[in-house]
Amino acid sequence: MNPVQQAVVWLNDPLNWTNPGGILDRLGEHLSMSVAAVLLGCLVAWPVGLWLGHTGRGGGLVLLISNVTLAIPTLALLTILPLTFLGFGRPAVVVALAVFAVPPLLANAYTGVRQADPEARDAARGMGLSGGQVLRRVELPLAVPYLAAGFRTATVQVVATAALASFVNGGGLGQIIRAGFGLDIAAGGGQIIAGGLLVAGLALLVEGVLALVERVVTPRPLRRTRRAANRRAADATAGA
Amino acid sequence: MSFHLSRRAEPGNPWFSWQYVRDNSDTILAALREHASLTGRAVLIAALVALPLAVVAYWYRGLAGPILALTGVLYTVPSLALFAFLAPYLGIGAVTVLTVVVLYALLVIVRNAVAGLNQVPPEVRDAAEGMGYGRWARLFRVDLPLALPGILTGVRLATVSTVALVTVGVVVGRGGLGQLIFAGFQNNFYKAQIMTGTLLCVLLALVLDLLLAGVGRLLTPWLRGRSR
C-alpha cells in the first residue's frame, strides 16, 4: 500500500475522527487558537496602523516591523514565549501566532488610510470635522478593502502557522502530523499525509471563504481597488 | 547530531550564557553551517528555477496567470503540510527540507521577477527591437538588467524567509539552528540554547540580506546615484 492509500484508509476510520485527540478535537483546538490569535492581532495592529496612517508618521516603523518579524523563526517564538511570564499552554501559543498576524494587519491598515483620497480628507476638514472624525467617518470606510485584505492574509497565515504549535504540544491539527512522524515513516506515512491534507485543506478553505467575505464587505464603488489591496497585502507579507 | 549540555558554574537558567556558547561551540557552529548551507543551496536552486519561469510568464502573457496562481496556492499550503506530503516519499533528511524551502522561495522570486520584467518601459523594448535585437539578445542585454532590482528584491525576501523556514525542518531532524532551538526546549527548557539559536537565525538572515544588498549595488551601478 502506498502512503496515499494509507492516508485514505486512515481518514476513513471514524475512530480517528471522534477519538479524544482525534481530528475533530484537533480541529476545534486549531480553530479556537487561530481565532484568538487573529483577534488579538487585530486589537493591537488595527488601532496602531490606523493611527499611524492618520498622522502620516511611522511608515518606516511599519516596514521595520514587517522585516524583523519575517526573520524571526516561528519555532523560536513558540519555544521562547512559554518560558516568559506567559507560562506554558494556550496563551503563549496564541501570543506567538498573533505576533505573526500583526505585520500584514498593520501594513494594510497603514496603507489603507494613507491611500485615502487627499481631496476627500480636505473636504472633510473643510466641513469642520475634527481629526478623529476624519479618521472614523472618512478614512476608515475608505480603508475597508485594505483592512479586509490584511485580515485575510493574516488569518490564512495564522491558520497555517498554528500547525507548528504542535512542536510545543500546543495542540491543533499539526499534532496529527507530529504523531505520524513520531511513529515511523513507514508506519505513520498515511497519518502524516492525512494530517497534511487536513492542514492544507483548512488553510485553502479559510483562504477561499475569506476571499468571499472580503468581496462582500467591500462597498461596491471600492471593489476596483480591491485587487490593488490584495497585491499590497501579498507584498507586505511575502514570506511565512 | 547530539546536543550535549554543560552548565557547570552558572546557576539557574539564564537567557544568555557565554559559558554555554563556549562549551558547545562545536555543536553551535555545526548547526549554523548546516543552516547556512541549506539556505544557500535552496535560494540558488529556487533562483535557477524561478528565473526561467518568470521569463516564460513574461514572454507568454497567457501563462503568467497560471504560473502565478500555482505558486500562490503552493504558498498558502502550510509548511508543515508540505513536509507531510514530501517526507513519506523523499524520506527523513536534508532533501526533504531543501525541497520544501525551495518551493516556498520559488513563489517569492517568481512574483518579484515577473513584476520587475513587466516594469521594463515599452519604449525601451521598442528601441531595443528597432536596433535589431532579437528576442534572446534583448532578454539578456535589456530586459534582465532592467528587471534586476525586482529580481534582487525577490531573492532577498526569499533568503530572509528561507532562513526562518529552515527551522521547521526540525520535523525531519534537519532544521539547522532550529535543531538547537528545539533541543533547548526539550532539554528542560534551557533558555540559553534557545536564545543562541534564535539570535544566530536572525543574525544569519541579517548578514545574508546585507550581503545581497551589497551584491545588488555592485550589479546595478546605474541606480546608485538615484537611490541616495
Question: Domain boundaries in chain B?
Answer: 18-223
Find the closest chain A residue to B173 by CA distance.
Answer: A181
On whether the CB atoms of residues B113 and B81 are closer than 8 A, the answer is no
Alpha-carbon span A222 to A226, nearest angstrom: 7
Do B175 and B83 touch, CB atoms closer than 8 A?
Answer: no
More confident of the two residues A8 and A34: A34
Task: Give the residue from A75, A80, A158 with the most B CB atoms within 10 Å of its CB, the best one to mutate.
Answer: A75
Inform me whether the pLDDT recorded for B70 exceeds 70: yes
Report the alpha-carbon angle B141-B144-B145, nearest 5. Answer: 70
Residue found under cell 506530503: B85
Residues of B in contact with A174 (CB under 8 A): 80
How far, in Å, CA of B121 to CA of B117, rounded? 9
B181–A contact, CB cutoff 8 A = yes
The kind and range of the H/E element at A92 are: helix A90-114
Beta-carbon count within 10 A of B25 CB? 10
- State the nearest Cα–Cα gap between A194 and chain B, in angstroms: 8
Query: How does residue B49 score in pLDDT terms, banded at 50, 70 and 90?
Result: very high
The pLDDT of B23-47, averaged and rounded, is 90
The confidence score (pLDDT) of residue A155 equals 92
Does A39 score more than 90 pLDDT? yes
Is residue A185 within 8 angstroms of chain B, CB to CB? yes
Contact between A164 and B195 using a beta-carbon 8 Å cutoff: no
- Which carries the bigger pLDDT value, residue B39 or residue A4? B39
Nearest to A239 among B87, B160, B197 (CB): B160
Q: All domains of chain A, ordered by start, with CATH?
A: 3-236 (1.10.3720.10)
Q: Which residues 19-38 on chain B approach chain A with CB closer than 8 angstroms?
A: none
Q: Most A CBs within 10 Å: which of B80, B109, B112, as the mutation test of the A interface? A: B80
> Which of the following CATH numbers is that of domain B18-223: 1.10.3720.10, 1.10.8.640, 1.10.20.10, 3.90.1150.10?
1.10.3720.10
**Sequence-ordered list of residues with C-beta below 8 angstroms from that of B77, at least 6 positions apart, any chain:** A160, A200, A203, A204
Residue B194 touches chain A, beta carbons under 8 Å: yes
pLDDT category of residue A228 using cuts at 50, 70 and 90: low
Beta strands per DSSP E along chain A: none
pTM: 0.82
Please give the residue of chain B at the shortest CA–CA distance from A160. B78
Tell me, what's the pLDDT at A14? Answer: 78
Predicted confidence at residue A239, as pLDDT, reads: 37
Which residues of chain B are within 8 Å of residue A195 when distances are taken between CB atoms? 81, 84
ipTM: 0.78
Q: What is the pLDDT of residue A136?
A: 85
Is residue B157 within 8 A of residue A238, CB to CB? The reply is: yes
* Distance from chain centroid for Cα B56: 22
pLDDT digits (tens, 9 = 90+) for B78-137: 888 888 888 888 878 888 889 989 988 888 899 889 888 988 888 988 898 899 888 888
Residue B79 with chain A: CB contacts under 8 Å: 160, 163-164, 240
* Nearest residue to B193 (alpha-carbon basis) of B178, B181, B201, B202: B181
> Cβ separation of B185 and A72 shorter than 8 Å?
no
Closest alpha carbon within chain A to B77: A200
pLDDT at A61 over 90: no
Helix and strand numbers, DSSP H then E, in chain B: 11, 0
C-alpha grid cell for residue B115? 513584476
B-chain CB neighbours of A81 within 8 Å are: none
Nearest to B78 among A67, A193, A203 (CB): A203
The average pLDDT across A186-210 equals 85
Among B76, B157, B201, the residue with its CB nearest the CB of A156 is B76
At A152-173, the pLDDT tens digits run: 989 998 998 898 888 888 888 8
Dihedral angle computed from the Cα positions of residues B96, B101, B104 and B105, in that order, rounded to the nearest 10 degrees: -140
